Structure 1
Amino acid sequence: MSSLPSLTTPPTAPLQKSTHLYAVHQVPLKCDVYEAGDYPVNNPVFLFFHSGGLVCGSRSMVPPWLVQTCYQRKWPLVSASYRLLPQVDGDGLVDDARDAYEFARVYGASSKGNTRNVVVGGASAGFFLAAIIAHHLNPKPIALLSITGIPTFQHAFFNSSTLIPPEPIREEDVEHLVSEPISVGMSPYDAAAIFFTDKLLPGGARNPDFQPPLRPPSPASESQDINRGLLYDYYLYENMYPALVSSVDPGFEWAREELQKSKLNDWPLTVFIQGDKDTDVSPDVCADVAEWLGDEAAVLCMAKGQHHLFEKAWFLDADPQQAQDGDPMDAVRRAVAELDKAVSRFAH
Structure 2
Amino acid sequence: MASIKPDLTLIYKKVDHLEIPMDLYLPKNTINAPVLLWFHGGGLLQGCRDMIAPHMKNAVQTYGFACISADYRLAPQVEISEILEDVIDCVIFIRTRLSDCLGQGVVDASRLAISGSSAGGYLALLAALVLKSKPQVVAPIYPITDPLGTFFTKPQPLPVGSDSSEADLDLARLGFFLNPRSTVVANSSETSPRRHMYAYMLKTASLARLWGIFPGDEGAVAQWRIPRTIKMGDFPPTYLIHGMDDTAVGVEQTDEVAGAILGDRNPVVYERPNGEDHEFDQRERYENPELYEFIMRYLN
Q: TM-score range by the shorter chain?
A: 0.7 to 0.9
Contact 1:301-1:334 at 8 Å conserved across structures: no
Residue aligned with 2:271, SS? strand
Q: Give how far 1:115 is off.
A: 4.9
- Out of 27, 36, 42, the position equivalent to 1:36 is 27
The equivalent of 1:63 in structure 2 is 53
Indicate yes or no: 2:124 matched with 1:130. Answer: yes
Query: Residue type of the partner of 2:110?
Result: R
Q: TM-score, normalised by structure 2?
A: 0.81
Quote the Cα distance in structure 1 between the aligned partners of 2:39 and 2:198: 17
Determine which structure has the larger helix proportion and give its number: 2
Distance verdict in 2 for CA 1:254–1:116, change over 3 Å: closer
Deviation, 1:172, is 4.0
Q: Name the amino acid aligned to 2:258.
A: A
Q: Which amino acid aligns with 2:25?
A: Y
Letter paired with 1:187: S
**Residue 297 of structure 2 aligns with which residue?**
341
Matched letter for residue 236 of structure 1: L
- Aligned to 2:50, what secondary structure does the other structure show? coil
Structure whose CA Rg is larger:
1
Q: Distance in 2 between matches of 1:87 and 1:311?
A: 29
Q: Secondary structure at the match of 1:51?
A: coil
Other-structure match for 2:217: none
Unaligned runs of 5+ in 2: 159-163, 214-219
Does the CA contact (< 8 Å) of 2:28 and 2:61 recur in 1? no
Distance 1:268 1:138, change over 3 A: same
Residue segments in structure 1 that go unaligned for 5+ positions in a row: 1-13, 189-224, 317-328
1:252 aligns with: 227
Cα-to-partner distance string for 1:54-82 (whole Å, 9 max, x where unaligned): 11111111111111223222211111111
Q: How many residue pairs were aligned? A: 271
**Amino acid in the other structure paired with 1:64:** P
Counting only pairs closer than 5 Å after superposition, residues 1-348 of structure 1 correspond to structure 2 as 17-26=7-16, 27-41=18-32, 43-106=33-96, 107-108=98-99, 110=104, 115-164=109-158, 167=166, 169-179=169-179, 180-188=182-190, 226-243=192-209, 244=211, 246=213, 249-255=224-230, 260=232, 263=233, 266-294=234-262, 296-315=266-285, 329=287, 332-343=288-299, 347=300
Post-superposition CA distance 1:8-28 (Å, at most 9, x none)? xxxxxx986101111102310
> Using the alignment, how far apart are the partners of 2:186 and 2:229 within structure 1?
32
- Alpha-carbon distance change, 249 to 45 in structure 1, aligned in 2, over 3 angstroms: same
Identity of aligned residues (%): 23
In 2: Cα distance, 1:52 partner to 1:147 partner: 13
Cα deviation code 1:101-127 (max 9, x no counterpart): 11222323748xx85221011111111
C-alpha displacement of 1:38: 4.6
Give, in angstroms, the shift of residue 48 of structure 1: 0.8
Q: Following TM superposition, by how much is the alpha carbon of 1:36 offset from its aligned partner in structure 2, in angstroms?
A: 3.3
For normalisation by structure 1, the TM-score amounts to 0.70
